[in-house]
Amino acid sequence: MAKVELKQPVIQEISDNIKDAQSVVVVDYRGLTVAEDTQLRKELREAGVTYKVYKNTMMNFAFKDTDFESLSPVLEGPSAIAISADDATAPARVLSKFSKNAPALEIKAGVVEGTFYDAEGMKAIAAVPSREELLSKLLGSLQSPIANMARVLKQIAENGGAGEATEASAEEAKVEEAPAEEAKAEEAAEEKEEAKDAE
């Protein structure tokens, strides 16, 4: 079997992986221990990221005429790629976080949503929160004013209710006072009449 025929399935596999990818990050994994490599693969898998080691020539062929062709110049030395179809920042975020404890892992470059970023650019991408984090922050910021408004409305209802109760009791007191005042007025009128009669 010819070498080209052997390479074709690998090139096809890479092409299939990057076809719908939002981001592809190329890393140099030299110096990672087996334990570190295993842990890295686990963390990437949990984040929904595909991580594979391929020959540079295979990746070059697969990247040709795609958004990821700009990564070809960094394909030197041992290279692995981290691919995400869902969360564009996930590969950079996981790799960057992991490299803090495993300095041997080096991010070479990446393409995120069609834009090429060098190693420094990928550090900036790594600082971008995940979609879920952004959504939860958005929901939190939306819920905060709603919760505050609910609290204010509750206080208004409680204070309004208390005000109404005070008004009602005041009215009842007035109703109770009214007959007493009428009785006093009648007594005063009778006393005046008696005084007139006495004169």
The per-residue pLDDT for 109 is 92
Please state which CATH number belongs to domain 3-128: 3.30.70.1730
What does the pLDDT read at residue 175? 47
Distance CA 51, CA 84 (A): 9
For residue 40, the model assigns a pLDDT of 92
Q: Which long-range contacts (CB under 8 A, 24 or more apart) does 30-37 make?
A: 30/77, 30/78, 30/104, 30/106, 31/104, 31/105, 32/102, 32/104, 32/105, 36/102, 36/104, 36/105
pLDDT of residue 108: 92
To which residue do tokens 């206080």 refer?
155
Q: Tell me which residue has tokens 């981290």.
A: 82
27-78 pLDDT, tens digit per residue, is 999 889 999 999 999 999 998 999 999 999 999 999 998 889 899 999 998 8
Helix axes 56-63, 3-19, angle to 10 degrees: 60
Question: pLDDT at position 89, please?
Answer: 87
Q: Mean pLDDT per 10-residue run, the chain (199 residues)?
A: 68 88 91 92 91 91 89 90 89 90 90 89 80 70 75 80 49 50 60 58
pLDDT for 169 equals 46
